[in-house]
Structure 1
Amino acid sequence: MTSSSPLPRYAVIGNPVAHSRSPQIHALFSTQTGKPLQYEPLLAPLDGFAATVQAFRDQGGLGLNVTVPFKAQAFELARGHLSERARLAGAVNTLWLQDGAWHGCNTDGVGLVSDLLRLGVTLIGARVLLVGAGGAARGVLQPLAEAGCAQLHIVNRSPERAHDLAAIWVAAPTTTRTRVTAGSLAEAGTLGGWNLVINATASSLQGAAPDLPSRLYAPDALAYDMMYAAAPTAFMRQATADGATRSADGLGMLVGQAAESFLIWHGVRPDAAAVLTTLRAALLAKG
């Protein structure tokens, strides 16, 4: 069976997936770059990721963005054709067909770094606190290190997970000199404060902030939440109260990782800033 649409076919696959902004983002990229495409949300049963991907391929599908909870399964699907980013992240959020096989990459960290640079953050030599030790945190370690961060300290509610993630990174074959350490949430502080504190947990989705100690922020530090909302998130409010000079949510990261996927698929890098402006306006209008 093949798709009835003459346009190149792409999708975002997840469960749930109806809330995803990826179709809107890629439609804006398509208009901006003059690259026509069909892009849709694709709901997969929790036990039916591989079958859903195969059906999508049979219908002419060429590429997929992968969201929760399927990034690890996407990694396995493309295990023989993984980018270095994907190998170090242990997860795939972008799939594409090449020479009859699925290839995989992880663009989350690139999206984060591009947004931090847009916000004027100096990453070379930066001291960074990464809150959370799940897939979101693992996916951004390499790009942050490659951007020149001097120290990455991973803290988590379950400190053993933070130590495990740090150990995986230390054992990985990388050429960066970034010092990676780990500890509990209570061990998040450092003398002089952090230049950048990133919330890689989903706490803001529940309207809560991580249980962090106070006095975490160096002068002119940025607090960055990977989640996004129309109003400042619980983590952003916590950071402001604790003395963070600036705070930002993860909408720019979302657009940035999508732009990297678009580049992989179509060979053209779209203007992420213009699309971010459109999405932010729409989010505030609904707010």
Structure 2
Amino acid sequence: MRWVFAVLLFLAAPLWAQSYPDYDRTTITDRADLLTDAQEAALDTRLSALRRDTGVEFAVLTLASQAPYAAALSLEDFATGLFDHWGIGDATRNDGIFVLVLSQDRAMRIELGAAYGREWDRVAADIIDRSFLPAFSNDDYATGIADGVEDVIASIALPFRDGADAPTGNDSVTTWAAIMGFIAIWLVAARRKIGDWATRLKSCPKCGHRALSRVRNTLRAATTSMRGEGETRLRCSQCGYEKRETYIIPTRSSSSGGSFGGGRSGGGGASGRW
């Protein structure tokens, strides 16, 4: 009978087995392919600068689904286990931050390092509701990730780094300061989109109509050792006028291809579904 039990144990093992995906970079690993090369490079640059300037390690992972890795675990346990498996954050400060997006599961989580007290969980929940979920509900993952990451930096990463307490529900001044800081950061990040939109107000140099549009395409993605190349195409829908120009995409920060600092999570954070 022992061999029968061994066979049954072997066959049942996949039911409770769990594994974790590897990371491509310590900033953004887009396994669900929700971002373009340019969007991924911009997020890598932003999070690499945060780590360089503040020491805070902030990682984003997108997956289509949790099921292939740990179907039996809750979202919260999966995110905590993955955070610890990667070792996000400085091992002494434990101030790492992890954002997990599961596009097919329509679920996400902000996981915080062990140093963040439970009072920061509510801040994370507010960020999910105001910055991630509105765009995710419309399947606009690129906007949701970009806006959400900036909100996490402005509302959690930087205040905690500066020794501030988590804002309370009655602290309207702190709340408005965080919102205004987030808006300012978003406007800086959106300046290229605003410039593309403003192109529509210009007259076509050929026919004079205000029918111009401008789109950008990545021709060659940047790496840590080589700059990338993009193309801007200006086109008039009235007369067919077209003008193409190339631009340089800066190299990725080499720190993003390294390793994490060995931090751990205390299970804090917040989850959301749409």
**TM-score, length of structure 1 as denominator length:** 0.32
**TM-score, length of structure 2 as denominator length:** 0.33
Max radius of gyration: which structure?
Answer: 2
- Structure with the larger RCO, 1 or 2 (CA within 8 Å, 6+ apart): 2
